[in-house]
Amino acid sequence: MASIVNYYKDLMYNRNDPRTQDWLLVSGPGPILTIILLYLYFSVSIGPRLMRDKKPFDLRNTLIFYNFTQVLLSMYLVYEGLMAGWLYDYSYKCQPIDYSNNPQALRMAHAVYMYFICKLIELLDTVFFVMRKKQRQISFLHLYHHAVMPICAWIGVRFVPGGHATLLGLINSFIHILMYAYYMLSAFGPEMQKYLWWKKHLTSLQLVQFSIILVHNMQVMVTDCNYPKVLSFLLIVNAGLFIYLFGSFYVANYQVKRENVLIAREKSKITNGMIKSNGYTNGTVTHDYARSYKSD
């Protein structure tokens, strides 16, 4: 037991980046773990119980403002990630961490910290679902994604605020520009639905994102790169898990659903043909199936 405690102390307080150790919420794991546990408790227990006998909140203006802010923050993170290294100086094959006080290295460290703060702000996604009584939206994938990303970002700020793994934040922030733009437009109401045909492509982009992250970190494992291989291995495992979860979501919500719609349309044609052969029409049934297909 003593050896475990000593290893923990050595890891937390001797192998961390001294530049970031006193930044807000970064001094130790206690604050971030407390936030995540409270988030999970609110999302699956106390939140739904508080809303059980209440009407859903109308958060239209709040959601428009929130999602617009997220778009701006994501654009800022993409810009900072590019300017701090990935556009000019960083190597996509192997990028060690610069722990110096070089202005460029500090700029990347601050970008990683801002990414961490944004992951905490994104916990509001779930809070808004609870307040709107959209509990079906709070899936295992949703909770896992929102709980794990702040912890990953905290590890980045505490130990590796720069280098190879920051490509993850750059790509993720780019995806979030599109994602929160979609959420912002959908918050305006049903009249915007005709412009939101590209929803399923967001999931496709998520799958591409995690595939890039997986391959990008595999390079560290097979090359002599001065970057923590343990961290790269954990990112590979996490990316693989996300590929499985998002892939399952895509198949269930788009491929299977579309196949069911096509089957329903074929049944409708058969039913229409049988009824018409008996001297009747079935305009109502045809309309209902068409309306169902259009809504998907």
Cβ 71 vs Cβ 177: under 8 Å: yes
Q: Which of 110, 142, 145, 176 is catalytic?
A: 145
Sign of CA dihedral 234, 174, 150, 103: positive
Q: List Cα–Cα distances, 248 to 126, 144, 239, 242, 243, in angstroms.
A: 21, 14, 14, 10, 8
User: DSSP assignment of 184-211, as one string?
Assistant: HHHHT-GGGGGG-TTHHHHHHHHHHHHH
Angle at the Cα of 41 (from 40 to 47), degrees rounded to 5?
105
Is 146 in the active site?
no
Amino acid at residue number 280? Y
CA distances, 171 to each of 79, 175, 177 (Å): 11, 6, 10
Q: What amino acid positions are annotated as catalytic residues?
A: 145
